[in-house]
């Protein structure tokens, strides 16, 4: 097995875009956090022998980094986990305080994956895919395991900031009016 390398998407944009389109059927996604076109996204790639084998795209909203997409063609090798950890480190470096991801209601594998990485369910957006389908009719009506696609599950994770220095508190003595 070749070693997996990780890099910013920019240096591999053409390959990353082809990978994105292959996995999402188009160069744009509509999720509750917004309408995203590939050319407007930032991302990280996983490379094996120079080929993209994993991709995470993201957007920053206020104090949160939203994972727009995460895919890997080498399941079980930790690629998605490493891409997500790198994105979280990047978010911390930017001063972001949380991560967010929206998952379609049929994607039980992704739901389990993100929960194992410390993400918690924040909200169920009932009917969000039905509304998105009005703008993008190619969103399927039925997903994995013949589950009808209607809703998104929003998950979030609070990013721990750097631990404070281990300095004992300075005692404060009240001033007297003498």
Tens-digit pLDDT profile for residues 24-47: 888 877 777 678 888 888 999 999
Picking from 24, 26, 56, 53, the residue whose alpha carbon sits closest to that of residue 43 is 56
Q: What's the CA gap between 172 and 137, in Å, rounded?
A: 64
Would you say 75 and 83 are in contact if contact means Cβ atoms under 8 Å apart?
Answer: no
pLDDT at 56 over 50: yes
In terms of Cβ atoms closer than 10 Å to its own Cβ (0-12, 13-18, 19+), residue 174 is exposed
Q: In this predicted structure, what is the pLDDT of residue 76?
A: 75
Averaged pLDDT, 1-24: 87
What are the extents of the domains in the chain?
4-158
What is the number of residues in the chain?
Answer: 178
Express each pLDDT in 72-124 by its tens digit. 887 778 899 999 999 999 999 999 999 999 999 999 999 999 999 999 999 99
Q: What's the CA gap between 116 and 103, in Å, rounded?
A: 15
Q: Which CATH architecture has domain 4-158?
A: 3-Layer(aba) Sandwich (3.40)
């Amino acid at each position: 097995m070749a070693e997996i390398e990780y890099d910013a998407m920019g240096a591999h944009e053409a390959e990353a875009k082809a990978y994105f389109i292959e996995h999402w059927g188009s160069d744009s996604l509509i999720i509750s956090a917004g309408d995203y076109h590939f050319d407007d996204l930032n991302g990280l790639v996983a490379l094996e022998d120079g080929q993209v084998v994993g991709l995470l795209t993201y957007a920053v909203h206020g104090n949160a980094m939203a994972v727009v997409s995460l895919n890997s063609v080498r399941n079980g090798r930790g690629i998605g986990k490493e891409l997500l950890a790198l994105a979280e480190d990047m978010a911390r470096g930017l001063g972001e305080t949380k991560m967010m991801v929206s998952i379609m209601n049929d994607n039980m594998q992704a739901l389990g994956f993100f929960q194992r990485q410390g993400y918690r369910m924040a909200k169920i957006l009932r009917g969000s895919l039905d509304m998105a389908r009005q703008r993008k009719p190619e969103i399927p009506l039925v997903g994995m395991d013949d589950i009808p696609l209607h809703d998104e599950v929003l998950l979030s994770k609070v990013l721990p900031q750097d631990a404070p220095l281990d300095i004992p508190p300075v005692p404060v003595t009240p001033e007297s009016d003498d």
